[in-house]
Every structure is written in structure tokens, then in C-alpha cells.
Structure 1
Amino acid sequence: MATRVRVVVVGAGAFGGWTALSLQRRGCEVVLIDAWGPGHVRSSSGGSSRVFRQSYANPEMVRLAGRARRLWIEEQERSGRRLFDPIGLVWLAPRRSELERAVLSNLEGASVPHEWIDADRLAGMYPQIRTDDLEGAIVEPGAGVLRAREACLAVRDALVEAGGAFRASWVEPGTTRSGRMEDVRLADGSSVSADAFVFAVGPWQAALLRRFAGWSLPVTRQETFVFGTPPGDDSFGPGRLPVWAYQGEEFWYGVPGDGDVGGFKVAVDRRGPGFDPTTGDRTPSAIGMGEARAFLEDRFPGMADAPLIDASVCQYTHAVDGRFLADRLQGLSNAWVATGGSGHGFKHGPAVGETVGSLVLGEQSPGDDPAFSVCSEWHVT
């Protein structure tokens, strides 16, 4: 570029970090800013692990995850850091319902390697899992585990290596004039000016969107639990089990050998109560732990007496239909918002960053990609 476009990206989670890196590698001059650092514990991108899968009932998410998978692998090879372990996924199904049929159809349509196996074969493959009440399972061998906080740090480091900058600070929108944002203000009273601004602030979107659009997306409290595996028994580790999901009355999922913790992660994809990501109490609940333990005892009997070794509270920022929000802030031509991960956005991060970068550079228009929504579609209070 004859004149480099200067971009400030606020938020160093999955959406913001990958947006910043994509723009820097495309010739922009990028400053990435985050209050508590990449993948910090309050963020929706924190923690040790995330599930990667392309098993979706929405074909657009299958497509977007496919692009993200290629970018994850490229970045892992480029950085030499462990970001993605393709240990596979087994999707446990009490019956082959309309949902499973849609997932299978989408995987087939996108040429994603997969297989439906019946319960008898599943029991032989994974005797650790109780299967007597299942019809079968979807097996997706190219799925696996993403190292969440490690990935956020790797993306930040790649940005700096490519010539971008990272600053740690709380950020407030600064001066706006004639339909353009001119700068952002930092906690120390200084300001950073730019040609364009991207706010990928995850669950902190409420104040931003209420200021510029008069509404915000709901944010809910979520809990995850990690149980210790039996000593000397590797049958519940990543060498013997893939990532798993169970689609019953609720959607449970888990990760064997969870990241740095080294235990067996269990969580339910349930919309919890409203939550403030800055001030909310992050003490895991006894009710949540009891539900997780009961599910573990029922589905993985060999873990019936497993001790709890870790637990955490994070949050979902909800898009009503599971798409991600990427659009200009109302009334501003050069300021963008990217949010609405809805509990499944982390895996898509590289592809989201690529798309948001294209929006900022004018290579795409908001709403062009059906995996993303725009502000005019939202009326959430």
C-alpha cells in the first residue's frame, strides 16, 4: 500500500486477535489493545481448551469452520506452537433424529470426512462410554481440540512479529466527528488515532452497542468442570478417546486430557443467567458441579468417583440464530463491531478475522456472508 491503513483493534480474543493479524499481514498498520491480555480468564476466549468441529446443522457454519481449520493448521505450522490437536469427535445420539440427519447431510455436502456408526460398533470402539441407550454416533475424525489461551498468545505474538503493536489497557471510544471515529482513549488518559477501528470485545459489547445502537446482545453465565482421571489408567485420555458430544435433552460435550489441567472436561451448552463479565462472581455453583458429576457417572461409568480438579465460569454472548455479528457501528463509517460468539465462535476465529478484515478494507459488504448478521437484524434489549 502506498499509504498504509492504520487500524486499532480492541479485544485480543479469538475474533479480535485474528482480525488484527489478518489486517497486519494484508499491509495495514495495526494496534491491538486488550485490558487484561490475550485469552485472559475473564474473556470468552480464555481457558485451556475449545472443541473444534464441523458437525453443524447450519451449513454456513460447516463452511466457515472448514476455512478456519485450514487457517488453524497453517498458523500452527508457521508458529511451531501446539494450537490444534486433531484427535477427532464422536457425537453420541440417542436416536438418529432430524438434527443428526442435517449434520450428516452438511458434512457430506462439504466433503468433510465423517461416518455414522451404530451403537454396537460404538461400544466396541469406546467401551468407556455407556451406549446401551444410544442408536449410534457421528464420527468426525478431523475434529479435535484447540488450545485456547495458547492460541490467543500465539496470534498476539505473530501480530507483533509481523510489525503490529500490542498494548494492554482499558479502552473507551474517543472523538467522533462527521460520521467518523478519530481515536480511542486509554486508561492512562492518552489516545490512539487510526483510520479504522474494530471493537471485538466479546461480552463487553453491551456498553458499546447501547451507546451507538440503543440495544445490546444478551450475555449469560456458563460453567465448565474438569475431573481427574484414574491414576495409571489412560482410557479417558486423548490417546484413547476423541472429543465427545452428547445430543440428548441437552447438549453436553467434553475434552479428554484437557489442556494444561490434564483432566476430563465436562460442560453443558445451556443458556445460563445473565452475567456481567467485569463484576460477575466466577465461583462455580454446587448445582452445576452436581449436574456435571451426575452426567459423567451416567455416561462414563469408569469416572464415577473422579475428583473435581478444576472448574471455571465464563460467558456466552448470544446471537439469536447462532450467526456472528459483524457490521459498522451505527452512524460511523470507519468503526466496526465483531461479536456474538454464542459459545461456538472460538473455533471459527481465523475465518471470522479474515472476514472482518475484508469488511474493514472494503473487500466485502456487511451481510454478504450468510454466517454473519448485521445490526439492522438485531432488536435485542
Structure 2
Amino acid sequence: MSTTSTTTHDVAHDTRESATYAIIGAGLAGAAAAWRLAQSGAEVIVLERDVPASHLGSSHGSARIFRYAYPDPFYVDLVARARRGWDELEAASGQRLITPSGSLDSGVVRRPRELAAALEQVGIEHELLTDAEAAARWSQLRFDSEVLWHPGAGVIDAESSVLAMLELARAAGARVRTGWEAASVRAASSGYVVTSASGATVHAEQVIVAAGGWLPALLADLDLPTGFRGALPDFEVRQENAFHFPYRDAADAVPAPADGGTSWPTFIYKGADIQMYSLPGGRDAGFRGQKIAEYNGGRVIGSARDQDGVIDPANRERVTDFVSRFVPGLELQPYAEATCLFTNVPRDDMIIDRAEGITIVSPCSGQGAKFAPLLGELVYDLVAGSQHAVDRFRAAGQRFAGVPG
């Protein structure tokens, strides 16, 4: 299936469009919602300020981690449900969107034994290894704790996934408007009017806001009930730094074969002094190395509007030091680097909640990509009225330390 998209730019005379559902944002969450709603026969329009999977958002590129390892069986089971959605999406699109890699979890703060217990409870294949056992199997890495290995993990091609879901949504009748920056959502005599920065309007019975790191800048212009607005958690947006380090062994620097997986695993390390995650870089950086980033190591910004794309040299130094201590299979000089966005809430849960006809979808804390097809199902269930929001994902007035409640 082709994933080429046609760009339709917002101009002032593109007014008075209407749909049952208007979705703000064409990243993974918005595309998933569009796919599932259009699949049900609903009339859907997607409004994207830039282009689908834009580099200005959180769903660009080809390298995101799909993993089962969570300390809470609730989330492990959620990943298992999401995997079934990925299988459906891959079959429908004719593409492999998750490349198998397996994943390693280590570090005293990561608590591999606790993760193993949660995987055991849900029935996910895994092994708990000593640091020596893991080092013997993965000589390109070093470990300072027990290590959890689960082979079902992989690398998600985020951009291709967005385009695949949008193409399936279009095939089911959805419309996608790009270059269409939503500026406000106001209640009308029936439904809502979404107005763009250039004055174009869309009338919708319901609005789904899946704006990622752009959400904080839009919140003040959403017609939300006062009680719901007050219950929303703090949203913290960070400009993270990601670095690609070349493999020392040139044999590792090849695309995964069609019937196989990556040459390296993904891994997450959470120690007493630093927390890192890593995955094969894929076509993001020419398959030449491993993508490594410090979890929540970037600077806090107000919203995606405030990103400047400038790498933090102190962060680069911390990541390079980590590579020198724990990843002997990589060269110490990154050959590519970029910034990206994390949107956090205090409890690290996703937010999927609705007030009247506006639904807020924020798969927060760097974990949303793996759940993408399931997010579409959860949004459909919520807005179509077939079930209430999962209580775990309701707006709950969470506040970061030092922020007034």
C-alpha cells in the first residue's frame, strides 16, 4: 500500500466544512483515532497544523520502542492488547511496522525482577538473568544489576505507522487537512466550531484533541467546562535530545532482513545516577548505529511552540559518558543528533478523557507510540458511547511538586 499523502493547505476560503468528528493532530494518536472512527463508518476530518508525523511533533521518524516491560500488570496487558492492533494494522497496510529486536531492562531503579513478575502475571515470554549471564550473551553491553530480557519487543516505524493509519482512514472516507493550525474550539448551537489560525472553520459534533506537545498552548482556547479544565493534570513538555552512535562492528550497520530482526536489542537502563533508553536507529540515521537518549534529560519548555531544536551540550556529555561506561559496542562520537518532544503528566499515565463533546487524548511520558492502534480503539469506545473512559486515564488534577493545586 502506498503511504504517499497529498497535502491540502489551509487557506482562508476553506470554510464551513463539517464532520461528525474533528480530530486535531495527525500524529500517532490522532491517526489511530481517525482510522478507528472512519472504520466504523463515522464522518471524520483530521486537522493537522503541519504534515502528518511532522518533525515538529512527537510521532516523526522511524525509531520508537515497542516493549512489554512495565512494573504494573495493567500496562503489560494493555501492551498485549495493542500488539493485536498492530497485527491488524500491518495486515491491512501490507507493511511491517514493528521490526523485532527484543529488549533488555537493567539498573537498580529499573527493578528488573519486579518487571519480570508483571510479565509473568500476564503470560509474556521473558528471562531474568544475572549481570554476568547477560554480559556473556550481549558482549556489546555492560550491566550492573539483574537484567530482564523479553524477545517480543521491537522497533516501531512511527512515521510509516501514521501514514498507514491515515491512508486506511481515507479509504474509509476520512478527510485530512494539512497546514491547518487549529486556534480555537468553541461551542456552537449544536456541536463545536474549530477555527484555524487563518480563519477557516470546521463544524463538528465532537472534537478530539490529539495535539501532543502543542496541547498546552491550545488549552486556553478550548471551550471546556470549568470543572473539567480544573481537573486536567499539569502537562510538562520537554525538548529531549537524541543521539545516534555508530556501531563498532560494521556488520551491525545494516537494515534488518525482511524475515528477521535488528542486529541489536532495544534497552532501558535506570540506575541511581542516570536513566537512558536506546534502540536501533533505523532509517532515521541510515541504520548505522544505536539511538540513545536520557529519559527526561531535556529542558522543560512551555509547549511545542517553544522548541528551538538546539542540542544541549551538557546532555550530549552525559549520554556520551554513559556510552563509554555501558556500551562498549559503540563508537564514542555521535554521527547524528536531534531534538524531540516528551509530554509528561505527574503520574506518568495516559490521559484519555471527555467533557461534553471535547475529548483530550495525551498518551504521555514518552510511552504512547507502542499503544497507537489501541489508542484509536479507546477513543472510539469513549466518543461513541459504547463504554466509559478507562478510569486510569481520566483527568485527575495531578500536579507536579511545587506547582499549586
Identity %: 28
Partner of 1:25: 39
Deviation string, structure 1 residues 88-119 (Cα, Å, up to 9, x no partner)? 111123x5x78323211110111111111222
What's the C-alpha RMSD, in Å, of the aligned pairs? 2.4
Between 288-297 and 237-246, report the one with greater CA deviation: 237-246
Partner of 1:176: 187
Distance in 2, matches of 1:108 and 1:235, equals: 34
Change (3 A) 1:272 1:239: closer
Change (3 A) 1:182 1:135: closer
- 1:85 aligned counterpart, secondary structure: strand
Distance in 1, matches of 2:296 and 2:161, equals: 25
| Conservation of the 8 A alpha-carbon contact between 1:319 and 1:340 | no
The correspondence of residues 73-92 of structure 1 with structure 2, limited to 5 A, is 73-92=87-106
CA-CA distance at 1:68 after TM superposition: 1.0
| Conservation of the 8 A alpha-carbon contact between 2:212 and 2:343 | yes
- 1:301 aligned counterpart, secondary structure: coil
CA-CA distance at 1:5 after TM superposition: 7.5
Change (3 A) 1:364 1:119: same
Deviation string, structure 1 residues 191-244 (Cα, Å, up to 9, x no partner)? 111211101111111133344426651212211111222363428986432111
Distance in 2, matches of 1:113 and 1:43, equals: 33
Mapped pair 1:222 → 2:240? yes
Q: TM-score, normalised by structure 1?
A: 0.89
Letter in 2 for 1:284: I
Partner of 2:341: 315
| Conservation of the 8 A alpha-carbon contact between 1:128 and 1:236 | no
CA-CA distance at 1:369 after TM superposition: 4.2
Letter in 2 for 1:377: G
Change (3 A) 1:236 1:246: farther
Partner of 2:12: none
| Conservation of the 8 A alpha-carbon contact between 2:248 and 2:331 | no
| Conservation of the 8 A alpha-carbon contact between 1:18 and 1:349 | yes
Distance in 2, matches of 1:304 and 1:63, equals: 37
Partner of 2:112: 100
Q: 1:259 aligns with which of 269, 283, 293?
A: 283
| Conservation of the 8 A alpha-carbon contact between 2:279 and 2:291 | yes
Deviation string, structure 1 residues 12-50 (Cα, Å, up to 9, x no partner)? 112111011111111211111111111111101123210
What is the aligned residue count?
Answer: 366
Distance in 2, matches of 1:123 and 1:340, equals: 34
The correspondence of residues 1-381 of structure 1 with structure 2, limited to 5 A, is 6-93=20-107, 95=108, 99-131=111-143, 134-168=144-178, 169-177=180-188, 181-211=191-221, 212=224, 213=229, 216-230=234-248, 232-234=250-252, 239-249=262-272, 250-261=274-285, 262=287, 263-270=289-296, 272-275=298-301, 276-305=303-332, 307-329=333-355, 333-366=356-389, 368-370=390-392, 372-374=393-395, 376-378=396-398
Distance in 1, matches of 2:110 and 2:328, equals: 28
CA-CA distance at 1:323 after TM superposition: 1.0
Change (3 A) 1:136 1:13: same
Distance in 2, matches of 1:124 and 1:152, equals: 38
- 2:199 aligned counterpart, secondary structure: coil
Distance in 2, matches of 1:230 and 1:136, equals: 25
Distance in 2, matches of 1:146 and 1:251, equals: 21
| Conservation of the 8 A alpha-carbon contact between 1:73 and 1:84 | no
Change (3 A) 1:320 1:174: closer
CA-CA distance at 1:293 after TM superposition: 1.2
Distance in 2, matches of 1:166 and 1:204, equals: 18
Where do 5+ consecutive residues of structure 1 fail to align? none
Change (3 A) 1:75 1:283: same
Distance in 1, matches of 2:19 and 2:49, equals: 24
| Conservation of the 8 A alpha-carbon contact between 2:30 and 2:210 | yes
CA-CA distance at 1:58 after TM superposition: 2.3
Deviation string, structure 1 residues 279-334 (Cα, Å, up to 9, x no partner)? 321111211111111111111123244x32221111211121111112224xxx11
- 2:64 aligned counterpart, secondary structure: strand
